[in-house]
Structure 1
Amino acid sequence: MKKIMAPRYTAGQGFFDKAFFDCYKGIGYPDRWLEESQTYAPEDAYVISHPTWFYEAIPEVPEISIYELFARTVKKYPDDVAVIFLDKAVTYGELDLMIRKYAAFLKEIGIGKNSVVATMLPNSLQHIVAFYAAAFVGAVHTPIDVMFKPKEIADQLKDSRARVILVLDQWHEKLVDLKADGLIDHEIVTHLQDWIAPKAVVPSTLKLCWDMPKRAIAGTFDFFASMEKHAPLTEPEKVDPRKDAALLLYTAGTTGKNKGVLETHFNLVFNSLTHTHAFRATREREVNFSIMPMFHTSGYLLHQLPVFYQGGTVIPIPLFDAADAFRIIETYRVNVIFAPPTFFIALMNQNELMKKHDLSSIQMTIGCAAPVPVAVQDQWKQMTGLELVNGWGMTETNSGGIISIPGIKEKFDSIGIPVYSEVKITDEMGNILGRNQEGEICYRGLQVAAGYYNNPRETEMTFLPDGWLRTGDKGFVDKEDFVHFAGRIKHLIVVSGYNVSPVEVEHVLYLHPGVEEAMVTGQHDPYQGEKVKATISLKLDYMDKISEQDIMDFCKKHLASYKVPKIVDFRDILPKSPTGKLMRQDHNKDDDPMGL
């Protein structure tokens, strides 16, 4: 792999050279952004990436749909393996045929340009087909968190205006009342066993779903049967890549209401190219262990789209199992893994099992969804000989917007440098700060999403007119152009990469008849990054009658499991400001050494 040297900011000393301008103009970077980039002084907390920092220069980004980018790979590698799911391989040609058949079914039931189609599936072949088929007909794909309870599902269906959903048949009961309420016009169901190898190895974590027999459900369509009875479409719907959305991903908001992030076709195509050419993780085409869920931005932008662009192989993992992970890595010669820190910790906890398997195919391991602690990086390097590098991204930046540079040990505590994009650090008024001064990380690049769906107020506050995105994260830029993450400005809790809104959890707590006041915060957890903590004062009639477990059980009825408080602290009085506002930050400082 090419040795990449540490970047140096050399404004006025050849940094803005021909290679720089040729690259940025070639990818369609706006002239006004380039002009602004040259106005910053070397001491400003500002960095724009130079093409020589990366593995290879990014080629011109084509103005096509994300399906059309996939179709180019199909034409180039029709007989190569695109997906291995439950030990059964699918070639690019076979996958494309499935996509075009399912697209014909979608068109028959009325799905077309700008329609929104939902899925509620684990990582699977079916999920991949559904995404590209929606893009083929010009529709927008919105994946729903598989851990959601009916109310959470209803909220996303209402906000996205999706009327069609593809779901695992075991979760059909979650939708019964929603269909009765008129939120769903068409339900398509599938089973994990619909696509398996004859001698597939079933991990223990999947046993419960696996053992449930497939069943016919009245009033639904069967996924594979509906696909197979249609002739494949041949001409994809024409889209405007820079304006038309392909993906609508939901992320937690500080107000308690999830926000739908609109990802355009160009956003997705741009990211496919940058992740391949800027940060070439392997010497050959990737064989990717796809562990991040497909309802999460990393599930698409790290695990799938760049891999399909280069003609690699995606191995969707429905549910993590350490023993099965080692088997898959060894059997299929996995060479790159993007995963949260908890994944690597779980593997290292199986040290004896790790020693029994050949992991020599792995060429790069990259942390995502949460910062990787230096101690975890050091332990991983000691046990495997591999670097475990950091990165940073969010749904609004289409996943990885900042990456670490392999081989620079002294910068492992940073999150890296921006990927063909810009970062500046500002104060509360939007003024740029100096290097090593902590403020808000602002980000600008062609991968930044189009805005929030049906939410103009939040869009205006976050996506600024000059292209800058206010991330709500704190950080600083050092003298060598590396960006460092220092926490969050917004009161969001990140549990194993999943954003949790404290307000949403508080709203549920206030539904309990015994809760007088409630405040939800994040508390540091060495495994998950953070865990949800609820601090509660009880009504007089309920004092000494409600336990911590009672509160947790109540929340489980209304919230996805990762949102449920793992710590419940009862107090007589909650800390408040002179105006009566709950003092979330002061409370955290009292109880949490990290102030999270």
Structure 2
Amino acid sequence: MQTTRPHYKFWPRRLPHAITPPATSLWDNLAVSARRYPDKPALIFFGRQTSYRELCEGTERLAAYLHSIGVRKGDRVILLMQNCPQLVLAHFAILRANAVVVPINPMNLADELQHYIQDSEARTAIVSAELAAELAKASNGLAPAQRLQHLLVTHYTDAFDADITGPDAPPAAWAGWLTAQHPLPALEGGSVHGWAQALACSAAPPALEVGPDDLAVLPYTSGTTGMPKGCMHPHRTLMHNAVAGSFWGTSTPENITLAVVPMFHITGMVSMMHSSIYSSATLVVMPRWERDLAGRLISRWRVTSWTNIPTMVIDLLASPNFAQYDLSSLLYIGGGGAAMPQAVAQRLLDQYGLRYSEGYGLTETAAPSHSNPPDHPKQQCLGIPFMSTDARIVDPESLQELPVGESGEIIVHGPQVFSGYWKQPEATERAFIEFEGKRFFRTGDLGRMDEDGYFFITDRLKRMINASGFKVWPAEVELLMFRHPAIAEACVIAARDSYRGETVKAVVVLRQEYRGKVSAEDIIAWCREHMAAYKVPRIVEFVDALPKSGSGKVMWRLLQEKERQAS
């Protein structure tokens, strides 16, 4: 039994160990910031500023429009787009309409998107124009009773001037998807709506009826088997980490945050977007990563806070234009998803006096369950249990707590832990254990705790590939690959990659009639058409048979170990 908390020695002295979050909805955070700072920029997007008043009023108009087309309390609404002001506005408008945000990775293709429509039972979606045709294709391929009924489409140029020049201008290479005008798709059995039409709604929004215990967001996470599962997060779980994250990062209304981590992802959504809105800070929004644009924006807007994944920092430091950028305004830099190389962390410290603060969390824990204290971070470390959080290391079989230094499964208890998996009570039951009278979530990650109470990752119980911070779940990729007519069997494993850390490798058995007729390049090309780019195998190896256990299960660990030895 753990009787002491050694990490409290390194706890920021200015902060309590636990907090009492506001007993309100997440939308109330925006409403409060808009009342306090109506003219302050909430968002900056390619030079165009959106004030807190404009953002808040826009959410009320869009909420009224959603209500007018039938969205009611508890309804799920899909949100599919890259980072942009419309994503932030739509996210808060869905909450203001008493509904539930279903954020989806914009890299997903129609075959994958169908699952999110079906499983969430969403009937309305808000989507950026370059992705609208793919989402409509997914919906049109479903049975009529499962299809979307409403598709609300926005162009990125609804939020900025396409002819902008200077340091705020987007890269020329982005013109094809960022500024192009895409025709509205046909939605079978449903209606397609334009952004301007929705934002012009003059009706009053419905009464705000949701509170801390109502479902707010349904982000999806994959796992060791089957398709992605929805994680049920009520307002209170995200509220805790939004507020705690604001305190932890010493956020004030004067903070300028570079918003480049995807906001469909739990880290970007909670630790960046919700924390900033709660703090009345300003978000400088990037729709996707581009190192020289990031360098210009940090310099131009005097960015103070940057949450990222380590590959972004590595990429920026490697830019031939790096000497032109001024990073002196940065007060906080940190992130997670992958380990920060020690040499890069040391360069940040030596050159800028910045201590890179790594953190750890899952979709199920609303982003951080652990974080490094900004004043006392350890390199390549998950950090210490976050505010209000209890975390332990237990033996995965006996579930007994292990002593300092021993490797076991990380389990987490705290107010940010999700309620359970959407429509999957058995999976929910498996994900939790009772420990010392409290309900702990089993992360499936193996780690150890040092004598100071800092946690370190050692391995995974879950079968997962971490490619530049993108989590790839082999079972999901395999299910998609089995749709290829030439594939009899496939086993997906991790291969080492000098830039991504890990990359996706598929070991494939072809059907007899296709052997010698289908190449690895053919398989890879097919995968690009049917799954998100980060899931696509970069390597395909053909074998005559996969190793199997006596019960007929594919022995993926054997293939994984063979790959490790070879690399």
Q: Distance between the aligned counterparts of 2:116 and 2:8, measured in 1?
A: 36
Could you tell me which of 56, 62, 65 is aligned with 1:96?
56
Q: Secondary structure at the match of 1:459?
A: helix
Pairing of 1:256-267 with structure 2 (within 5 A): 256-267=226-237
Pairing of 1:564-579 with structure 2 (within 5 A): 564-579=536-551
1:234-283 CA distance string (max 9 Å, x none): x7422241x21111101112113101011111112111211112332x67
Name the counterpart of 2:493.
Answer: 521
Name the counterpart of 1:395.
Answer: 363
Q: Distance between the aligned counterparts of 2:348 and 2:513, measured in 1?
A: 52
Name the counterpart of 1:497.
Answer: 469
Q: Distance between the aligned counterparts of 2:551 and 2:282, measured in 1?
A: 57
Could you tell me which of 98, 121, 126 is aligned with 2:86?
126
Does the C-alpha gap of structure 1 residues 176 and 452 become closer, same or farther in structure 2, counting only changes over 3 Å? same
1:186 aligns with 2:150: yes
Q: Distance between the aligned counterparts of 2:85 and 2:354, measured in 1?
A: 29
Counterpart residue identity of residue 152, structure 2: I
Query: How far did 1:426 drift?
Result: 0.8
1:537 and 1:574 in contact (8 A); partners too = yes
1:87 aligns with 2:51: no
Q: Distance between the aligned counterparts of 1:503 and 1:193, measured in 2?
A: 38
1:418 aligns with 2:378: no
1:256 and 1:501 in contact (8 A); partners too = no
Pairing of 1:89-488 with structure 2 (within 5 A): 89-180=49-140, 181=142, 182=144, 183-197=147-161, 199=164, 201-215=169-183, 219-233=191-205, 236-241=207-212, 243-280=213-250, 285-350=254-319, 352-408=320-376, 411-420=378-387, 421-427=389-395, 428-464=397-433, 466-488=438-460
Q: Distance between the aligned counterparts of 1:446 and 1:383, measured in 2?
A: 38
Counterpart residue identity of residue 476, structure 2: E
1:348-393 CA distance string (max 9 Å, x none): 210x311111111111110222222323323443454422221101
Q: Secondary structure at the match of 1:220?
A: strand
Q: Secondary structure at the match of 1:237?
A: coil
Query: How far did 1:213 drift?
Result: 2.2
Counterpart residue identity of residue 414, structure 1: C
With normalisation by structure 1, the TM-score equals: 0.87
Q: Distance between the aligned counterparts of 2:512 and 2:201, measured in 1?
A: 63
2:308 and 2:334 in contact (8 A); partners too = yes
Counterpart residue identity of residue 480, structure 2: V
Counterpart residue identity of residue 134, structure 1: I
Q: Distance between the aligned counterparts of 1:127 and 1:407, measured in 2?
A: 33
Q: Distance between the aligned counterparts of 1:93 and 1:303, measured in 2?
A: 20
> Is the deviation greater in 53-62 or in 442-451?
53-62
> Is the deviation greater in 170-179 or in 308-317?
170-179
1:517-558 CA distance string (max 9 Å, x none): 311012232322321111123333333332211110121122
Q: Distance between the aligned counterparts of 1:592 and 1:166, measured in 2?
A: 42
Does the C-alpha gap of structure 1 residues 216 and 148 become closer, same or farther in structure 2, counting only changes over 3 Å? closer
Query: How far did 1:398 drift?
Result: 0.3
Gaps of 5+ in 2: none
1:165-206 CA distance string (max 9 Å, x none): 111122222133444343110111110111114635122342
Q: Distance between the aligned counterparts of 1:393 and 1:59, measured in 2?
A: 18
Does the C-alpha gap of structure 1 residues 594 and 81 become closer, same or farther in structure 2, counting only changes over 3 Å? farther
Q: Distance between the aligned counterparts of 2:485 and 2:58, measured in 1?
A: 51
> Is the deviation greater in 261-270 or in 209-218?
209-218
> Is the deviation greater in 458-467 or in 359-368?
458-467
> Is the deviation greater in 399-408 or in 128-137?
399-408
Counterpart residue identity of residue 422, structure 2: Y
Q: Distance between the aligned counterparts of 2:546 and 2:517, measured in 1?
A: 19
Name the counterpart of 2:2.
Answer: 40
1:47 and 1:424 in contact (8 A); partners too = no
Counterpart residue identity of residue 387, structure 1: R
Query: How far did 1:131 drift?
Result: 0.9
> Is the deviation greater in 165-174 or in 431-440?
165-174
Q: Distance between the aligned counterparts of 2:207 and 2:241, measured in 1?
A: 21
Gaps of 5+ in 1: 1-38
Q: Secondary structure at the match of 1:546?
A: coil
Counterpart residue identity of residue 552, structure 1: I
2:117 and 2:139 in contact (8 A); partners too = no
1:288 and 1:307 in contact (8 A); partners too = yes
RMSD: 2.2
Does the C-alpha gap of structure 1 residues 513 and 221 become closer, same or farther in structure 2, counting only changes over 3 Å? closer
Counterpart residue identity of residue 402, structure 2: L
Pairing of 1:526-541 with structure 2 (within 5 A): 526-541=498-513
Q: Distance between the aligned counterparts of 1:459 and 1:506, measured in 2?
A: 23
Does the C-alpha gap of structure 1 residues 185 and 353 become closer, same or farther in structure 2, counting only changes over 3 Å? same
With normalisation by structure 2, the TM-score equals: 0.92
Does the C-alpha gap of structure 1 residues 259 and 231 become closer, same or farther in structure 2, counting only changes over 3 Å? same
Counterpart residue identity of residue 209, structure 2: K
Query: How far did 1:55 drift?
Result: 3.9
